[in-house]
Amino acid sequence: MNITRKVINDTYYVGGSDNRLNLFENLFPIPNGVSYNSYVILDKFNVLVDTVDESIKELFLNNVKYILNGKKLDYLILNHLELDHASVIKEVIQNYPKVKLVLNEKAFNMLKAYDLGLEVEFILVKEDTKLNIGIRELSFVFAPMVHWPEVMFTYDPLNKILYSADAFGSFSTLNGNIFLSETKLDEYIIDDMRRYYTNIVGKYGRQVQSVLEKAATLDIKLICPLHGHIIDTNFDILFDKYTKWATYNYEEKGIVIVYASMYQNTKNTAFKIANELSVKGIKNIKIYDVSKTDVSYIISDIFKYSNLLIASPTYNGCIYPKINYLIDDLLMLNVSNKSISLVENGIWACTSIKQMS
């Protein structure tokens, strides 16, 4: 079985989707699954851009074989070495022993830990390297910490394609429609993109800003990320979203109220505040029980809205553990530019605000 699609002219999609995985990175719920994208460019020298996760290995290898149709594979470009994209390098080398691995120095050093145990030739690239593959020269944009230090983008000037690694990626399987223009850029797609970005790459806003500036200088017709739809439309909307997320600026005025509550008292306080805010004309009010909703959804909405209110009971003289986890996550992700209010509760030692502050 193979499932492939033509992206444009001589370029093909050879990735696939997994909807059996419950937790991405064994951490983030993905009720709609996830795709692992990979691409083949056919030219005088044929190129594979990244591999995939182990879970879709067999389909991926069939896809590559089908598209090559007996032709040789000359280069495997490694834009990102996280294992959801680098789990099948060994099998690609085994199937195509003359393939050369194209990567930067940081990736080369990291790859040693993968212990491939195979003889293979490497081509180390820098940002000014041009890789001539026939009728075009591929170039490279280094994107350190988007989302690992070795990450780079590959640019095809002929088809005006930016292979953007994790950037512009999203949760959810690709359900036949691999191009964004084949579906509707609705709130569900944006929500998946935001939850992916904010939780996976959200910490590295400064680096994302820097790479967005570099990308803005390129003539781009298609963005081919490693997860989610190929972006062929709505560039302005998406660049605006990514710029807001990267700078921790809100998309909409509104408030996220997150509470923990053991006996409904803190919960009632949260809902009372929401009620009063509504009376005062606040339209966007999202309320989350931190014990009920996975923190990745809450983080995503915190990026989206301007204000945040956290209400926590005092628990064993400390912050309620799940609120503590949320705050740790906010700190880890460098979330800033938010107006934050704190509410505490407690009968015999009311200390959670002090500690949350």
Does the footprint of ligand FEO cover residue 156 (CB under 6 A)? no
Q: Which residues, 6+ apart, have CB-to-CB distance to 215 below 8 Å?
A: 141, 153, 162, 164
Q: 133: burial class by Cβ within 10 Å (0-12, 13-18, 19+)?
A: buried
How far is 68 from 41, CA to CA, in rounded Å?
Answer: 9
| One residue of 18, 50, 74, 84 binding ligand FEO per CB under 6 A | 84
CB count within 10 Å of CB 275 equals 11
Which CB atom, from 163 or from 250, has the smaller least distance to ligand FEO? 163
As given in the structure block, the two tokens for residue 271 are 């809902």
Which CB atom, from 107 or from 260, has the smaller least distance to ligand FEO? 107
Cβ–Cβ < 8 Å for 6, 232: no
At position 289, the amino acid (one-letter code) is D
> Buried (b) or exposed (e) across 40-75, using 16+ Cβ within 10 A?
bbbbebbbbbbbbbbbbbebbbbbbeebbeeeebbb
The interface region with ligand FEO, picked from 78-86, 129-137, 171-179, 327-335 by CB under 6 A, is 78-86
Which CB atom, from 223 or from 356, has the smaller least distance to ligand FEO? 223
Does the footprint of ligand FEO cover residue 147 (CB under 6 A)? yes
| One residue of 30, 77, 85, 193 binding ligand FEO per CB under 6 A | 85
Which CB atom, from 31 or from 117, has the smaller least distance to ligand FEO? 31
The interface region with ligand FEO, picked from 59-67, 77-85, 132-140, 243-251 by CB under 6 A, is 77-85
- What binding mask, one character per residue, do residues 41-70 give for ligand FEO by CB under 6 A, x or -? ------------------------------
Does the footprint of ligand FEO cover residue 195 (CB under 6 A)? no
| One residue of 18, 150, 166, 344 binding ligand FEO per CB under 6 A | 166
Which CB atom, from 82 or from 232, has the smaller least distance to ligand FEO? 82
How far is 66 from 92, CA to CA, in rounded Å?
Answer: 14
Which CB atom, from 155 or from 168, has the smaller least distance to ligand FEO? 168
Position closest to ligand FEO via CB: 82
How far is 157 from 137, CA to CA, in rounded Å?
Answer: 7
**DSSP code at position 54:** G
At position 351, the amino acid (one-letter code) is T
Residues within window 211-250 making contact with ligand FEO, judged by CB under 6 A: 226-227
How far is 286 from 313, CA to CA, in rounded Å?
Answer: 20
**What is the closest distance, in whole angstroms, from the C-beta atom of residue 192 to ligand FEO in the complex?**
14
Which CB atom, from 80 or from 100, has the smaller least distance to ligand FEO? 80
Binding residues for ligand FEO (CB under 6 A): 80, 82, 84-85, 147-148, 166, 226-227
